[in-house]
Protein backbone atom coordinates (compact mmCIF):
# COMPACT_ATOMS: atom_id res chain seq x y z
CA UNK A 1 0.00 0.00 0.00
CA UNK A 2 1.39 3.40 -0.94
CA UNK A 3 0.85 6.43 1.22
CA UNK A 4 -1.60 7.59 -1.42
CA UNK A 5 -3.80 4.57 -0.71
CA UNK A 6 -4.56 5.70 2.82
CA UNK A 7 -8.00 7.24 3.06
CA UNK A 8 -8.03 10.83 4.21
CA UNK A 9 -10.25 11.63 7.19
CA UNK A 10 -12.86 13.04 4.81
CA UNK A 11 -13.25 9.90 2.72
CA UNK A 12 -15.70 7.16 3.62
CA UNK A 13 -16.95 4.17 1.70
CA UNK A 14 -20.32 5.74 0.93
CA UNK A 15 -18.92 9.01 -0.41
CA UNK A 16 -20.80 10.04 -3.57
CA UNK A 17 -20.26 12.68 -6.23
CA UNK A 18 -22.47 15.78 -6.12
CA UNK A 19 -26.08 15.82 -7.37
CA UNK A 20 -26.62 17.28 -10.85
CA UNK A 21 -28.11 20.54 -9.60
CA UNK A 22 -24.62 21.68 -8.56
CA UNK A 23 -23.66 21.70 -12.23
CA UNK A 24 -26.84 22.52 -14.11
CA UNK A 25 -28.96 24.80 -11.89
CA UNK A 26 -28.46 28.52 -12.68
CA UNK A 27 -29.67 29.58 -9.22
CA UNK A 28 -27.11 27.31 -7.59
CA UNK A 29 -24.41 28.74 -9.83
CA UNK A 30 -25.32 32.29 -8.86
CA UNK A 31 -25.20 31.45 -5.17
CA UNK A 32 -21.77 29.81 -5.62
CA UNK A 33 -20.47 32.92 -7.37
CA UNK A 34 -21.62 35.00 -4.45
CA UNK A 35 -20.25 32.66 -1.80
CA UNK A 36 -16.93 31.82 -3.37
CA UNK A 37 -16.03 34.48 -5.91
CA UNK A 38 -17.58 37.51 -4.23
CA UNK A 39 -16.92 36.27 -0.69
CA UNK A 40 -13.37 34.86 -0.70
CA UNK A 41 -9.96 36.14 -1.79
CA UNK A 42 -9.64 35.39 -5.50
CA UNK A 43 -6.42 35.17 -7.46
CA UNK A 44 -6.23 38.07 -9.92
CA UNK A 45 -2.81 37.74 -11.53
CA UNK A 46 0.79 38.55 -10.73
CA UNK A 47 2.39 41.76 -9.60
CA UNK A 48 4.93 41.54 -12.45
CA UNK A 49 2.09 41.93 -14.96
CA UNK A 50 1.89 45.61 -13.96
CA UNK A 51 5.54 46.47 -13.22
CA UNK A 52 5.39 50.25 -13.82
CA UNK A 53 3.22 52.94 -12.24
CA UNK A 54 0.09 53.39 -14.37
CA UNK A 55 0.14 49.84 -15.76
CA UNK A 56 -3.21 48.15 -15.31
CA UNK A 57 -5.22 45.01 -16.03
CA UNK A 58 -8.98 44.56 -15.93
CA UNK A 59 -10.56 41.61 -14.17
CA UNK A 60 -14.13 40.43 -14.53
CA UNK A 61 -15.40 38.73 -11.40
CA UNK A 62 -18.96 37.43 -11.47
CA UNK A 63 -19.96 40.29 -13.79
CA UNK A 64 -18.09 43.01 -11.86
CA UNK A 65 -15.38 44.77 -13.87
CA UNK A 66 -12.37 45.72 -11.75
CA UNK A 67 -9.27 47.80 -12.47
CA UNK A 68 -6.00 46.58 -10.93
CA UNK A 69 -3.28 49.22 -11.24
CA UNK A 70 0.00 50.35 -9.78
CA UNK A 71 0.23 53.83 -8.24
CA UNK A 72 3.15 56.25 -8.30
CA UNK A 73 4.46 54.96 -4.96
CA UNK A 74 4.57 51.39 -6.30
CA UNK A 75 1.52 50.22 -4.33
CA UNK A 76 -1.03 48.11 -6.21
CA UNK A 77 -4.70 49.09 -5.92
CA UNK A 78 -7.95 47.66 -7.23
CA UNK A 79 -11.11 49.62 -7.98
CA UNK A 80 -14.52 48.98 -9.40
CA UNK A 81 -14.50 50.10 -13.02
CA UNK A 82 -17.33 52.55 -12.36
CA UNK A 83 -17.22 56.35 -12.54
CA UNK A 84 -18.46 58.18 -9.45
CA UNK A 85 -20.23 60.78 -11.63
CA UNK A 86 -22.93 58.76 -13.37
CA UNK A 87 -21.59 55.26 -13.33
CA UNK A 88 -19.93 54.84 -16.72
CA UNK A 89 -17.25 52.18 -17.14
CA UNK A 90 -13.95 54.02 -17.00
CA UNK A 91 -11.84 51.62 -18.96
CA UNK A 92 -12.54 49.16 -21.80
CA UNK A 93 -9.18 47.70 -22.89
CA UNK A 94 -8.28 44.53 -20.97
CA UNK A 95 -4.82 45.85 -20.16
CA UNK A 96 -2.68 48.89 -20.78
CA UNK A 97 -1.17 51.87 -19.06
CA UNK A 98 -2.73 55.05 -17.64
CA UNK A 99 -0.75 58.26 -18.10
CA UNK A 100 -1.00 59.06 -14.40
CA UNK A 101 -4.78 59.54 -14.35
CA UNK A 102 -7.81 57.34 -14.83
CA UNK A 103 -10.13 59.48 -16.96
CA UNK A 104 -13.79 58.83 -17.52
CA UNK A 105 -14.46 58.99 -21.27
CA UNK A 106 -17.95 60.47 -20.73
CA UNK A 107 -17.60 63.84 -18.91
CA UNK A 108 -13.89 63.71 -18.06
CA UNK A 109 -13.94 63.15 -14.34
CA UNK A 110 -10.38 62.07 -13.55
CA UNK A 111 -8.91 59.99 -10.73
CA UNK A 112 -5.33 59.54 -9.66
CA UNK A 113 -3.80 56.06 -9.49
CA UNK A 114 -4.71 55.69 -5.84
CA UNK A 115 -8.36 56.32 -6.72
CA UNK A 116 -8.79 59.94 -5.56
CA UNK A 117 -10.98 62.15 -7.70
CA UNK A 118 -8.79 65.02 -8.89
CA UNK A 119 -10.86 66.67 -11.64
CA UNK A 120 -14.62 67.07 -12.04
CA UNK A 121 -15.50 69.59 -14.75
CA UNK A 122 -18.30 72.07 -13.97
CA UNK A 123 -18.74 70.81 -10.42
CA UNK A 124 -17.00 73.78 -8.73
CA UNK A 125 -20.24 75.73 -8.30
CA UNK A 126 -22.39 72.83 -7.15
CA UNK A 127 -23.35 73.50 -3.52
CA UNK A 128 -21.92 71.03 -1.02
CA UNK A 129 -19.93 69.14 -3.68
CA UNK A 130 -16.56 68.13 -2.23
CA UNK A 131 -14.14 66.43 -4.58
CA UNK A 132 -12.73 64.30 -1.74
CA UNK A 133 -16.13 62.66 -1.26
CA UNK A 134 -15.97 60.82 -4.60
CA UNK A 135 -12.99 58.47 -4.76
CA UNK A 136 -13.26 55.30 -6.84
CA UNK A 137 -14.82 52.40 -4.96
CA UNK A 138 -11.85 50.36 -3.77
CA UNK A 139 -11.58 46.58 -3.64
CA UNK A 140 -9.52 44.87 -0.92
CA UNK A 141 -6.20 43.68 -2.33
CA UNK A 142 -3.61 41.35 -0.84
CA UNK A 143 -0.25 40.10 -2.06
CA UNK A 144 1.31 36.71 -1.53
CA UNK A 145 4.78 36.18 -2.94
CA UNK A 146 4.01 38.03 -6.18
CA UNK A 147 0.41 36.77 -6.48
CA UNK A 148 -2.34 39.41 -6.43
CA UNK A 149 -5.55 38.54 -4.60
CA UNK A 150 -8.77 40.56 -4.50
CA UNK A 151 -11.68 40.33 -2.13
CA UNK A 152 -15.05 41.87 -2.92
CA UNK A 153 -16.57 40.98 0.44
CA UNK A 154 -17.74 43.70 2.81
CA UNK A 155 -15.33 43.01 5.68
CA UNK A 156 -12.71 40.62 4.33
CA UNK A 157 -10.80 38.49 6.78
CA UNK A 158 -7.01 38.64 6.28
CA UNK A 159 -5.66 36.89 3.18
CA UNK A 160 -3.24 35.01 5.45
CA UNK A 161 -6.19 33.22 7.05
CA UNK A 162 -7.31 31.88 3.70
CA UNK A 163 -3.78 30.80 2.75
CA UNK A 164 -3.12 29.08 6.08
CA UNK A 165 0.09 27.06 6.05
CA UNK A 166 0.54 27.65 2.32
CA UNK A 167 1.72 31.19 3.08
CA UNK A 168 5.01 29.72 4.31
CA UNK A 169 5.03 26.25 2.82
CA UNK A 170 6.27 27.36 -0.61
CA UNK A 171 8.67 30.10 0.46
CA UNK A 172 11.62 28.14 -0.94
CA UNK A 173 10.24 28.43 -4.49
CA UNK A 174 10.76 32.22 -4.34
CA UNK A 175 7.53 32.76 -6.28
CA UNK A 176 7.82 36.54 -6.15
CA UNK A 177 11.02 36.44 -8.18
CA UNK A 178 9.58 34.29 -10.96
CA UNK A 179 8.61 35.88 -14.26
CA UNK A 180 5.99 35.05 -16.84
CA UNK A 181 7.28 32.94 -19.70
CA UNK A 182 4.03 32.00 -21.42
CA UNK A 183 0.28 32.48 -21.05
CA UNK A 184 -2.45 30.48 -22.79
CA UNK A 185 -6.14 31.25 -22.23
CA UNK A 186 -8.65 28.43 -22.64
CA UNK A 187 -12.42 28.59 -22.95
CA UNK A 188 -13.68 25.41 -21.30
CA UNK A 189 -17.31 24.30 -21.67
CA UNK A 190 -17.66 23.05 -18.12
CA UNK A 191 -18.63 24.22 -14.68
CA UNK A 192 -15.72 25.64 -12.64
CA UNK A 193 -16.00 22.91 -10.00
CA UNK A 194 -15.36 20.14 -12.52
CA UNK A 195 -12.00 21.72 -13.29
CA UNK A 196 -11.04 21.75 -9.61
CA UNK A 197 -12.26 18.17 -9.18
CA UNK A 198 -10.29 17.06 -12.23
CA UNK A 199 -7.16 18.76 -10.84
CA UNK A 200 -7.62 17.06 -7.47
CA UNK A 201 -7.22 13.47 -8.56
CA UNK A 202 -4.83 11.52 -10.77
CA UNK A 203 -7.01 8.45 -10.98
CA UNK A 204 -7.66 9.54 -14.57
CA UNK A 205 -3.99 9.97 -15.44
CA UNK A 206 -3.12 6.55 -16.89
CA UNK A 207 -6.00 6.71 -19.37
CA UNK A 208 -6.24 10.43 -20.11
CA UNK A 209 -2.58 11.47 -19.79
CA UNK A 210 -0.29 8.64 -20.94
CA UNK A 211 2.62 11.08 -21.33
CA UNK A 212 2.21 12.36 -17.75
CA UNK A 213 1.98 8.80 -16.48
CA UNK A 214 5.37 8.06 -18.09
CA UNK A 215 6.93 10.94 -16.13
CA UNK A 216 5.13 10.64 -12.80
CA UNK A 217 3.28 7.57 -11.51
CA UNK A 218 -0.34 8.31 -10.72
CA UNK A 219 -0.13 6.59 -7.33
CA UNK A 220 3.03 8.39 -6.24
CA UNK A 221 3.12 11.11 -3.62
CA UNK A 222 0.68 12.09 -0.93
CA UNK A 223 -2.34 14.32 -0.38
CA UNK A 224 -2.54 16.68 2.56
CA UNK A 225 -5.77 16.59 4.57
CA UNK A 226 -8.09 19.11 2.92
CA UNK A 227 -8.44 22.57 4.44
CA UNK A 228 -11.57 24.75 4.04
CA UNK A 229 -9.75 27.11 1.67
CA UNK A 230 -7.11 24.95 -0.04
CA UNK A 231 -6.48 21.35 -0.91
CA UNK A 232 -3.69 19.48 -2.60
CA UNK A 233 -0.63 17.35 -2.28
CA UNK A 234 2.43 16.26 -4.15
CA UNK A 235 3.43 13.66 -6.70
CA UNK A 236 6.87 12.27 -7.39
CA UNK A 237 8.82 12.31 -10.64
CA UNK A 238 10.01 8.94 -11.88
CA UNK A 239 13.68 8.02 -11.75
CA UNK A 240 15.69 9.93 -14.36
CA UNK A 241 12.91 12.51 -14.94
CA UNK A 242 13.88 16.13 -14.21
CA UNK A 243 10.52 17.87 -14.60
CA UNK A 244 7.20 17.70 -16.39
CA UNK A 245 8.03 18.51 -20.00
CA UNK A 246 7.71 16.67 -23.31
CA UNK A 247 11.00 14.84 -22.86
CA UNK A 248 11.10 14.94 -19.05
CA UNK A 249 14.21 17.11 -19.02
CA UNK A 250 14.54 20.35 -17.07
CA UNK A 251 13.83 23.67 -18.80
CA UNK A 252 16.98 25.02 -17.13
CA UNK A 253 18.40 24.78 -13.63
CA UNK A 254 16.17 23.83 -10.69
CA UNK A 255 14.87 26.85 -8.81
CA UNK A 256 17.48 28.06 -6.33
CA UNK A 257 16.80 27.21 -2.71
CA UNK A 258 14.83 24.00 -3.22
CA UNK A 259 15.71 20.92 -1.19
CA UNK A 260 17.04 17.85 -2.96
CA UNK A 261 13.74 16.11 -2.18
CA UNK A 262 11.83 18.87 -3.93
CA UNK A 263 13.91 18.35 -7.06
CA UNK A 264 11.99 15.10 -7.37
CA UNK A 265 8.46 16.38 -6.71
CA UNK A 266 5.60 18.40 -8.17
CA UNK A 267 3.18 20.08 -5.77
CA UNK A 268 -0.42 20.60 -6.86
CA UNK A 269 -2.61 22.86 -4.72
CA UNK A 270 -6.00 24.37 -5.31
CA UNK A 271 -6.25 27.68 -3.47
CA UNK A 272 -10.00 28.13 -3.43
CA UNK A 273 -11.87 29.35 -5.24
CA UNK A 274 -9.85 29.99 -8.41
CA UNK A 275 -6.11 29.27 -8.28
CA UNK A 276 -4.50 25.97 -9.23
CA UNK A 277 -0.87 26.27 -8.19
CA UNK A 278 1.53 23.68 -9.62
CA UNK A 279 5.10 23.93 -8.40
CA UNK A 280 7.71 22.04 -10.37
CA UNK A 281 11.45 21.81 -9.61
CA UNK A 282 12.20 24.44 -12.27
CA UNK A 283 8.98 26.39 -12.83
CA UNK A 284 5.64 27.47 -11.44
CA UNK A 285 2.47 26.89 -13.40
CA UNK A 286 -0.73 28.68 -12.44
CA UNK A 287 -4.26 28.14 -13.66
CA UNK A 288 -6.72 30.88 -12.78
CA UNK A 289 -10.40 29.97 -13.16
CA UNK A 290 -12.98 32.56 -14.18
CA UNK A 291 -16.54 31.22 -14.33
CA UNK A 292 -18.29 32.88 -17.28
CA UNK A 293 -21.48 30.82 -17.12
CA UNK A 294 -22.84 27.79 -15.36
CA UNK A 295 -21.22 25.58 -17.99
CA UNK A 296 -18.34 27.76 -19.16
CA UNK A 297 -15.05 28.66 -17.48
CA UNK A 298 -12.22 30.79 -18.78
CA UNK A 299 -8.95 29.26 -17.66
CA UNK A 300 -5.79 31.36 -17.77
CA UNK A 301 -2.73 29.11 -17.67
CA UNK A 302 0.68 30.69 -17.09
CA UNK A 303 4.19 29.33 -16.85
CA UNK A 304 6.62 31.30 -14.66
CA UNK A 305 10.37 30.81 -14.53
CA UNK A 306 13.40 32.14 -12.73
CA UNK A 307 14.75 35.20 -14.59
CA UNK A 308 18.30 33.86 -14.53
CA UNK A 309 17.19 30.61 -16.09
CA UNK A 310 15.27 32.53 -18.76
CA UNK A 311 18.38 34.56 -19.59
CA UNK A 312 20.44 31.41 -20.12
CA UNK A 313 20.96 30.52 -23.82
CA UNK A 314 20.12 26.87 -23.09
CA UNK A 315 16.72 27.70 -21.55
CA UNK A 316 13.92 25.56 -23.04
CA UNK A 317 10.50 26.93 -22.24
CA UNK A 318 8.60 25.32 -25.12
CA UNK A 319 9.02 21.76 -23.91
CA UNK A 320 7.26 22.43 -20.60
CA UNK A 321 4.59 24.61 -22.22
CA UNK A 322 3.82 22.01 -24.91
CA UNK A 323 3.60 19.27 -22.33
CA UNK A 324 1.07 21.10 -20.19
CA UNK A 325 -0.83 22.56 -23.13
CA UNK A 326 -1.40 19.00 -24.33
CA UNK A 327 -2.28 17.82 -20.81
CA UNK A 328 -4.59 20.81 -20.23
CA UNK A 329 -6.53 20.05 -23.40
CA UNK A 330 -6.89 16.42 -22.37
CA UNK A 331 -8.29 17.60 -19.03
CA UNK A 332 -10.64 20.16 -20.53
CA UNK A 333 -12.01 17.50 -22.87
CA UNK A 334 -12.98 15.14 -20.04
CA UNK A 335 -14.42 18.06 -18.03
CA UNK A 336 -16.56 19.04 -21.03
CA UNK A 337 -17.68 15.46 -21.53
CA UNK A 338 -18.59 15.26 -17.85
CA UNK A 339 -20.59 18.50 -18.06
CA UNK A 340 -22.56 16.95 -20.94
CA UNK A 341 -23.14 13.71 -19.05
CA UNK A 342 -24.33 15.51 -15.93
CA UNK A 343 -27.23 17.03 -17.89
CA UNK A 344 -28.68 13.61 -18.58
CA UNK A 345 -31.78 12.44 -16.75
CA UNK A 346 -29.85 9.20 -16.19
CA UNK A 347 -27.17 10.85 -14.04
CA UNK A 348 -27.12 9.88 -10.38
CA UNK A 349 -24.31 10.67 -7.93
CA UNK A 350 -21.72 7.90 -8.16
CA UNK A 351 -19.33 6.39 -5.61
CA UNK A 352 -15.87 7.85 -5.04
CA UNK A 353 -12.76 5.73 -4.69
CA UNK A 354 -10.16 6.38 -2.03
CA UNK A 355 -8.08 8.19 -4.61
CA UNK A 356 -10.82 10.78 -4.93
CA UNK A 357 -10.63 11.80 -1.28
CA UNK A 358 -9.91 15.46 -2.05
CA UNK A 359 -12.96 15.65 -4.29
CA UNK A 360 -15.17 14.42 -1.51
CA UNK A 361 -13.67 17.00 0.82
CA UNK A 362 -14.24 19.72 -1.80
CA UNK A 363 -17.85 18.58 -2.33
CA UNK A 364 -18.50 18.70 1.40
CA UNK A 365 -17.24 22.25 1.42
CA UNK A 366 -19.57 23.15 -1.46
CA UNK A 367 -22.48 21.57 0.37
CA UNK A 368 -21.65 22.98 3.79
CA UNK A 369 -21.33 26.49 2.41
CA UNK A 370 -24.75 26.08 0.86
CA UNK A 371 -26.20 24.76 4.09
CA UNK A 372 -24.68 27.54 6.19
CA UNK A 373 -26.09 30.19 3.85
CA UNK A 374 -29.56 28.66 3.81
CA UNK A 375 -31.80 30.32 6.40
Q: Could you list the residues that contact ligand FES (CB under 6 A)? A: 83, 85-86, 88, 104, 106-109
Tell me if 251 sits within 8 A of 243, measured CB to CB. Answer: yes
Is residue 356 part of the contact set for Fe ion (CB under 5 A)?
Answer: no
Nearer to Fe ion by Cβ, of 282 and 331: the residue is: 331
Q: Which residue, 99 or 261, has its beta carbon nearer to ligand FES? A: 99
**Gap between the Cα atoms of 150 and 46, Å rounded:** 12
Torsion sign, CA atoms 166, 262, 209, 315: positive
- Per CB under 5 A, does 331 bind Fe ion? yes
Q: What is the 8-class DSSP label of residue 19?
A: P
Residue (of 19, 76, 17, 22) closest to 45 by Cα position: 76
Binding partner at 106 among Fe ion, ligand FES, none, C-beta below 5 to 8 Å by kind: ligand FES
Q: Whose Cβ is closer to ligand FES: residue 65's or residue 364's?
A: 65
Structural Rg of the chain based on CA atoms: 22
Smaller CB separation from Fe ion, 331 or 363? 331
145 binds Fe ion (CB under 5 A): no
**What is the nearest approach in angstroms of Fe ion to the Cβ of residue 333?**
10
299: alpha, beta or left? (left if phi > 0; alpha if psi -120 to 50): beta
272, interface contact from Fe ion, ligand FES, none, CB < 5-8 Å by kind = none
The one of Fe ion, ligand FES, none whose footprint includes residue 331, by CB under 5 to 8 A per kind, is Fe ion
Instruction: Work out how close the CB of 140 gets to ligand FES at its nearest, in angstroms, rounded to a whole number.
Output: 24
Q: Which residue is nearest to Fe ion (CB)?
A: 331
Q: Which does 75 bind (CB under 5 to 8 A by kind): ligand FES, Fe ion, none?
A: none
- What's the distance, CA 366 to chain centroid? 17
Sequence length of the chain is 375
Question: Which residues make Cβ contacts (< 8 Å) with residue 371, sequence separation at least 6?
Answer: none
Beta bridge partners, 291, equal: 297
Site residues, Fe ion (CB under 5 A) = 331
Amino acid sequence: MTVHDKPSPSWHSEALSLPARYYIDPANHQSELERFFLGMWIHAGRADQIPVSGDYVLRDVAGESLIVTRADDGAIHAFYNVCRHRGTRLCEAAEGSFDGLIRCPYHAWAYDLSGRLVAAPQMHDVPNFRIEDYPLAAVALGLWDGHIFLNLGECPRPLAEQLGVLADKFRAWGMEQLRLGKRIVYDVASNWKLIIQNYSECLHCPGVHPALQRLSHFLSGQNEPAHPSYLGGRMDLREGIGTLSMDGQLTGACLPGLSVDDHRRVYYYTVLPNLLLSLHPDYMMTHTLWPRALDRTEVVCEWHFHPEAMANPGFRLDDAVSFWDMTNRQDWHVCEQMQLGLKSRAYRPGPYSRREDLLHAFDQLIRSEEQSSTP
